[in-house]
Amino acid sequence: MTDETAAPPRVPFFRNPDYLKLVAAQGLSLTGREIESLVLPLLVLGLTGSPAQVGFIAATQTVPYVALSLIAGALIDRWDRKWVMLACDAIRALAFASLPVAWWFGGLHIAQLYVVALVAGSAFVFYNISEISSLPLIVEPSELTRATSSNTVVEWIGENLGPAIGGVLVGLRRNTVVGAMLAYAVQAAILGLSLPLLGTIRRPLHSPRDKQQERHLLREIREGVAWLFAHPPIRTMAFLAMALSILFGPVMLAMIVLARGEFHARPAAIGLMFSAGGVAGIASTLAAPWFRRHLPAGQIIVFGVVIWALGLAAIAAAGSMLALAAAWLILPGVSGIRDVTSISYRLSLIPAGMQGRVNSVFRFVAWGLRPAALATGGFAIGALGARQTLWLLAGGMALTAVAAVASPLRRAR
């Protein structure tokens, strides 16, 4: 006899249309964002010739991580995350499209880059927290690790396809500024493509909450802070992520300056170098569920930091463009496994109604000092040189690896 009270069969995450739309939109959104990761330094260097100016603008883009993360997390736990993501991608598309429009009418100025960086960075804070907090609402808890792995694969594709597209588009024009304007126009168009995907997600992307129990915003933020600091593995992961964010922040700019100045590489070659890392990153991400089944989360995360320290030293020692590209492969080659493990472990522990707040506190701790790191890194590259700056960053990463090995995180299951 059939049990009519049995729950209906669950749809696997890879057949879940809402998950597929979310992850496809995330891929487009990150592709659009990462085009700028190469185009912005090339554009600012073309306009000013100053690595310090690149660092200051990049820092401006990350200031919202400090200023908005905590309040964004509390608000996102109140709002429908789908509409937050829709608004954020629309704002970012318009902001980036304003640059080629201003250039076309002869009004492009370095000050506009600062404004666009601030607006786009603010929108990204809300988008990023909304997206990661939506995943547990779409997939079953038992599938969270595999879904996070698949999501991260798509992110890797977007993050590494973006620089390749940016490098090719800038290289299509003899003048770097003209090529950058073409790249920004394409970037805005790609971000626009994510909107219909997000708009057709049917599942509500907010946690049901009793309006009578809704409390003061600052109190809710304090709850997120208290939850994170009351759980030692998550707290340790947050501070480890902070160290990695500080040390990795200036790495790509230093590599770009080294490749352009010492190796005389073309923009397309630089973009290809960063995109080649995406292949290693995708392979690493696909392997993450296997590693997670056979190893504790803490060991995977700690070992990943050790490999990053070795990879950054290899980047600093690179004597040719080929050696630089080969050394770069080490970092994304281990990041996929470490990131999938870290994210899925964190999401599995956070209650659904606190995902936005706790993830925002995590982001605040992890990225809070990134603006200062980018600004200081750009200044150091201009004052000391790209290679010397890379050696300093490699030394800091080695110390971080030692601290990670000695931390209780290695015992996290």
Alpha-carbon gap, residue 129 to 243, rounded angstroms: 20
The yes-or-no verdict on residue 9 having pLDDT over 70 is: no
Listing DSSP states for 232-294 in one string gives HHHHHHHHHHHHHHHHHTTHHHHHHHHHHHTS---HHHHHHHHHHHHHHHHHHHHHHHHHHHH
Residue range 223-244: mean pLDDT, rounded = 88
Average pLDDT for 108-121: 92
pTM of the model: 0.71
User: What does the block give as tokens for 205?
Assistant: 């992307």
Report how far apart, in Å, the C-alpha atoms of 216 and of each of 125, 208, 212, 222 are. 21, 17, 12, 10
Residue boundaries of the structural domains of the chain: 13-199+218-411
The pLDDT score that the predictor gives to residue 326 is: 94
Handedness of CA 303, 306, 312, 318 (dihedral sign): negative
13-199+218-411: in CATH 3.10.620.30 = no
Q: What is the mean pLDDT of residues 277-294?
A: 81
Q: Looking at 61-75, 144-158, 166-180, 389-403, which range is the least confident one?
A: 144-158
The mean pLDDT of 24-45, rounded to a whole number, is 85
- Across 298-323, average pLDDT: 93
